[in-house]
Structure 1
Amino acid sequence: MRRRDMLGAALAMPALLRSVPARAAVPVDVELVLAVDVSRSVDPEEQEMQFSGYEAAFRDRRLIEGIMGGPLGAIAVTMFTWSDWQIQDTVVPWMLLDGAAGAHRFADAVARAPRRTWLYTSISGAMDFAARQFGQGFEGTRKVVDISGDGVNNSGRPVAEARAEALAQGIVLNGLAVLDRTPTPLSLASALPPLDTYYQQEVIGGPGAFLVVAEGFEAFEAAVRRKIIREIAAVPPAGPSTERFA
């Protein structure tokens, strides 16, 4: 190609790029971000209960029927683990779930996800990271963050700041508080509010936000199944603001 022709092609390139339409976001009923606590208070056995609980939930027939029963019959889901303010790790990228096959693929990905343990509990860091995950190829009628954990915020900025910013973006924050049966030192226990109260007052928020409480990690599977089924409902039921599973 002659120099003049090369120059003409280079000048025309921006116009060609502008003429290529951007890929449209896929419409879904819900964009759901699953945020899973892997701080040091969650031991390996308890962490496995969390992951197996999420896996079982997405294989559940009732959950699959809930996905397919929405106006669009599809949701988008991603999962990340979190701990310290700067530690968030996407373990399952965004996936489209529009039936049993998609739900089982997501469950398979959860089963293969790495298990890691870190130190602190930064709910604010989890909120900030979750809020940045939306708008990646999907457009949901609702944007929901599902935060599960067994402790209060002890790393990063105040939860109130992160919560306010997420709510301002139209994100609904739901919580799954796990009441760990591991004894808490008396010096700490007297200074901390009950975890379910903390999640109710400081973590959840947005239209229809609710909290599910698991009385120990043994109850996690039943709690998370119920929670996700309620989150993806076409018309979220006006259920109690707090549900408990023993």
Structure 2
Amino acid sequence: MADALRDPEIVAAMVEGEVPIAVMQWSGSDKQQLSIPWTTIRTSLDANLLADRARLMERAFILSDTAPAEAIHFALGLFDSAPDCERQVIDISGDGTPNGGSDVNLARQAAERSDVTINAIAIESMGLAITNFYRGAVITRDGFAMTARTHRNYPEAIRAKILRELSKVIG
């Protein structure tokens, strides 16, 4: 993520749109953490500082369940303290299907009722099980899902996803 936040095309789009960003980490039912509070990107320095924070961010959860519904509910709550913005988007990335937590369909519906878009990156090396799960149960009607074939492919996938999202903000 840090590399994507330094990409000149992404930085220019974030600055032009004065995009607010918060970063949370999630895993199991009771494992959600706000890792970087809301930060509005008004200058390239703001973007570089955000990228530095993202690079230094330690992984919050290891070897835990996968509960995307709780992650969505937690993210929705973060919008209560968000700066004003044109669109509200939750980016969710993961390498597993749910094995904990509540019904992700209900969480997605709560996002849709709040006019929040959910986009996703599925990280999977074989097949499309996680991607198909994200497409069928996680993303909103106006959202999209992408696939990173491995964790090594994640940086290029998140770059592509952020560019696609930002094109809707400044397009």
TM-score range, shorter chain: over 0.9
- CA deviations 1:127-169 (Å, max 9, x no partner) are 1100000031501110000000011111111111111111111
TM-score (norm 2): 0.92
Are the equivalent residues in 2 in contact too, given 1:145–1:171 (CA < 8 A)? Answer: yes
Please identify which structure carries the higher helix content: 2
Aligned counterpart, 1:223: 157
The CA deviation at 1:236 is 7.5
3-state SS of 1:134 partner: helix
The CA deviation at 1:203 is 0.8
Distance 1:141 1:135 in 2: 15
Q: Which amino acid aligns with 1:205?
A: T
Q: 2:25 aligns with which of 73, 77, 81?
A: 81
Ranges in structure 2 where 5+ consecutive residues have no aligned partner: none
Ranges in structure 1 where 5+ consecutive residues have no aligned partner: 1-53, 182-188, 238-246
3-state SS of 2:99 partner: coil
Aligned counterpart, 1:159: 104
Aligned counterpart, 1:60: 7
- CA deviations 1:107-129 (Å, max 9, x no partner) are 01112212231410000010110
CA gap 1:87/1:135 in 2 versus in 1, 3 angstroms: same
TM-score (norm 1): 0.65
Query: Who wins on radius of gyration, i.e. which is larger?
Result: 1
- CA deviations 1:194-235 (Å, max 9, x no partner) are 11111111111143x111111111111100011011112245
Query: After TM superposition, what 4+ stretches of structure 1 lie above 3 angstroms from structure 2?
Result: 234-237
Q: How many residue pairs are counted as aligned between the two chains?
A: 170
Computed over aligned residues only, the root mean square deviation of the Cα atoms, in angstroms, reads 1.8
3-state SS of 1:141 partner: coil
Distance 1:137 1:235 in 2: 16
Distance 2:169 2:26 in 1: 30
Q: Do residues 211 (structure 1) and 145 (structure 2) align?
A: yes
Aligned counterpart, 1:12: none
- Give percent identity, aligned residues only: 27
Are the equivalent residues in 1 in contact too, given 2:91–2:118 (CA < 8 A)? Answer: yes
Aligned counterpart, 2:70: 125
1:1-246 to structure 2, matched below 5 A, reads 54-69=1-16, 73-116=17-60, 117-180=62-125, 194-207=129-142, 209-235=143-169
Q: Which moved more, 1:143-152 or 1:109-118?
A: 109-118
